[in-house]
Structure 1
Amino acid sequence: MLAITEMMIPVNPFSRPGIKLKARKGLVMHYTASRGAPAVNIAKYFAGLQFQHENDSDDDTYASAQYSVDRKSIYRVIPDYEMAYHCGSKTYTAEALNHLGSYPNNSTIGIEMCIEKDGSIHEETFQNAADLAAYLITTYAFPESEIWTHKGVVGWKDCPLPWVQKPSEYERFKKEVNARLHPVIAPSEYRIDVKYNGTALAEKGISRGTDSYTPLRAIAERSRTSVNWDPKLNKGILNSKVMDSSFVINGVGYAKSTEVAAALGLNVKWGGKDSAVGFDEIVHECNVVIGGKTVKGFIRQANSNSYVAVRDAGDAAGATVGWDQETLLSSLNGTALQTTFVYQEVGYAHTREVAAILGLNIKWDGATNTVKLTKE
């Protein structure tokens, strides 16, 4: 799958209300109706809606979708766990009401497919959208059968128009997604669980001969590192390192687990054949002092950065600590920590991010292997 380019819209009344999805019941496919416009233009359009004014005499537009897709790119402007304004209506089809609830915006993710100058959906755009749909279904456990068109939700809007005009394309799309969800692998290969710090990834790995292969995007998202696919090299890039062993099956990129472990600075264990692959962080303990109190901390070998246990840091600083099961992010004083990751069932975050939220300065004392967060 193509790398997802983030272009997050600030929370605003017109295109990002900042409301969490109440459920994840389906995907809704759209077309942009803007001939020749690439995905980045659609992302910019949704972002530009924030500059409207609710109290002036102009008519306001409320619109957005989490994703826009074209032949070469995928843009995300709203987090997967937040609602977008992509299928609002005064009326809905009976089937949509039955499957998606009374307000489908709050239970679905919207995907906008860009169209060519002749109004068609290019095959590359079609396949990229299928990759994205399969990824979202796998990642968030959407029901496989709940891939909708905008018209199927509201009944009156001919969107995506090319699929309304040729319904077989919609059926072909669903078959393409299904093929990605249930790939056919050789008899000598096995699907195996892949675990990161003891927790299984949403996407399974592959056992092939004497080697195991790990899904690149799934491990990258769990370890919060970068991943993309270089079309010139035809290789995956993980944590800025080329994965020489990488290959793609039905839109999912894989690489040898040993190569993945080396790129991320992780330990890896595999018992062979149909046993699970286990990745574990390599860390080096350090002291973190906040307000005179010493709390748990360590240096991640993966990036040589220091991390602190969020709950301990909050207790030491007198801050409120939270955890969002949807985003898998810890928070301090209501602010999400984007560098959160879980190690041995404890949530940690980068000391610099913790210091910034708490309004503290950060100092490193190499002699005592201590990170100090102070007001000085």
Structure 2
Amino acid sequence: MASYIKDYVEVNKYTRPDLKLLGVKGIVIHWTATPNASAKNERNYFNGTCIAEKRYASAHIFVDRKEARLIIPLDEVAYHANDKPSKIAKFKATASYYKGGNANLTTIGVEMCVEKNGTIHADTIARAEKVVAELCKQFKLTEKDIYRHYDITGKNCPTPFVSDSSKFTSFKAGVKKLLGSKSTGSKTSTASKSSDSSKKMVIVKAAQLYTYNSADWNDKGLIVKKGEAFTIKRELTVKGSKMYQLKSGLYITANTKYVSVK
């Protein structure tokens, strides 16, 4: 049984343009930023007011504490992650019917609803993890293919996961647990001279710094900020430069210009 209810909005050019995805290369996590609005409220907005206001916006799935609603079919474009060109290379895309569509042509958008006090309830997060895990299984993705809207275009969304990136790391870990198997990373041939550093912590020195989804300098992941600390699983060398694999499954540079270790 699916972890969401199908409740499609009508086809229209503002929220459901009836354009086909080129494929699903990732899942983009958002928050609605509309306090006290449920998944059903959001569905009704994108089937009514948003269209009337001629606003180009939508997402595929909306999640609250009690349910999740799929409002755009999973093989169609939703307008959720193209406010600026994609910063993630694998999501850059174009099509004759949607030039410069970028991440909107290659990803599924999942929105978490917000409580009256402006927070995301723990039950909403847990339900979103379940929804995303199901999507990952369906499209043969792993937790490494999950991104914040912030990672794609720089928008401050979902704000709680941007202001505290450890919450996003925890979200991805929750999805990984639900998937029930180890994620696949880069082939071991891309890394060499690995060593066990499991009891050490790496601390970010730079104002902000990219992590990596795998042992590949081109596979950028979430951004972490100065002062954040992470447990090191091992040290390795990738294409002549040192990198740490973190306990969370992500990777980070070992360059002492950007990080320190204790």
Q: Distance in 1 between matches of 2:18 and 2:49?
A: 15
* SS of 1:33 mapped into structure 2: strand
Q: 1:180 aligns with which of 178, 181, 194?
A: 178
- Where do 5+ consecutive residues of structure 2 fail to align? 94-101, 183-262
Higher strand share: 1
* In the alignment, structure 1 residue 99 sits paired with structure 2 residue 90: yes
Q: Contact 1:115–1:122 at 8 Å: present in 2 too?
A: yes
Q: Per-residue CA shift, 1:76-124, capped at 9, x if unaligned?
A: 111111110011123332xx1x121241001100000011112111110
* In the alignment, structure 1 residue 71 sits paired with structure 2 residue 65: yes
Highest RCO, 1 vs 2 (Cα 8 Å, sep ≥ 6)? 2
Give me the TM-score of the superposition, normalised by structure 1.
0.44
Q: Distance in 2 between matches of 1:66 and 1:164?
A: 21
Partner of 1:168: 166
Identity of aligned residues (%): 37
Measured after TM superposition, the shift of residue 129 of structure 1 is 0.3
Q: Distance in 1 between matches of 2:81 and 2:30?
A: 9
Measured after TM superposition, the shift of residue 45 of structure 1 is 0.9
Q: Contact 2:16–2:58 at 8 Å: present in 1 too?
A: yes
Q: 2:83 aligns with which of 84, 89, 96?
A: 89
Q: Distance in 2 between matches of 1:21 and 1:49?
A: 25
> What amino acid is the match of 2:14?
F
Map 1:236-247; keep pairs closer than 5 Å: none
Q: Distance in 2 between matches of 1:128 and 1:46?
A: 21
Q: Contact 2:3–2:131 at 8 Å: present in 1 too?
A: no
* SS of 1:126 mapped into structure 2: helix
What is the alpha-carbon root mean square deviation over aligned residues? 1.8
> What amino acid is the match of 2:138?
T
Q: Contact 2:133–2:175 at 8 Å: present in 1 too?
A: yes
Partner of 1:12: 12
Map 1:1-376; keep pairs closer than 5 Å: 3-49=3-49, 51-52=51-52, 60-93=54-87, 96=88, 98-102=89-93, 103-155=102-154, 157-182=155-180
Q: Distance in 1 between matches of 2:164 and 2:143?
A: 22
> What amino acid is the match of 1:75?
R
Q: Contact 2:130–2:175 at 8 Å: present in 1 too?
A: yes
Change (3 A) 1:126 1:43: same
Q: Distance in 1 between matches of 2:64 and 2:118?
A: 13
Aligned length: 174
Larger gyration radius, structure 1 or structure 2? 1
Measured after TM superposition, the shift of residue 37 of structure 1 is 1.0
Change (3 A) 1:31 1:50: closer
Change (3 A) 1:117 1:82: same
* SS of 1:174 mapped into structure 2: helix
Q: Contact 2:35–2:117 at 8 Å: present in 1 too?
A: yes
Q: Distance in 2 between matches of 1:88 and 1:60?
A: 17
* SS of 2:35 mapped into structure 1: coil
Q: Distance in 2 between matches of 1:83 and 1:76?
A: 13
- Where do 5+ consecutive residues of structure 1 fail to align? 53-58, 185-376
> What amino acid is the match of 2:122?
E
Q: Contact 1:25–1:143 at 8 Å: present in 2 too?
A: no
Partner of 1:284: none
* SS of 2:166 mapped into structure 1: helix
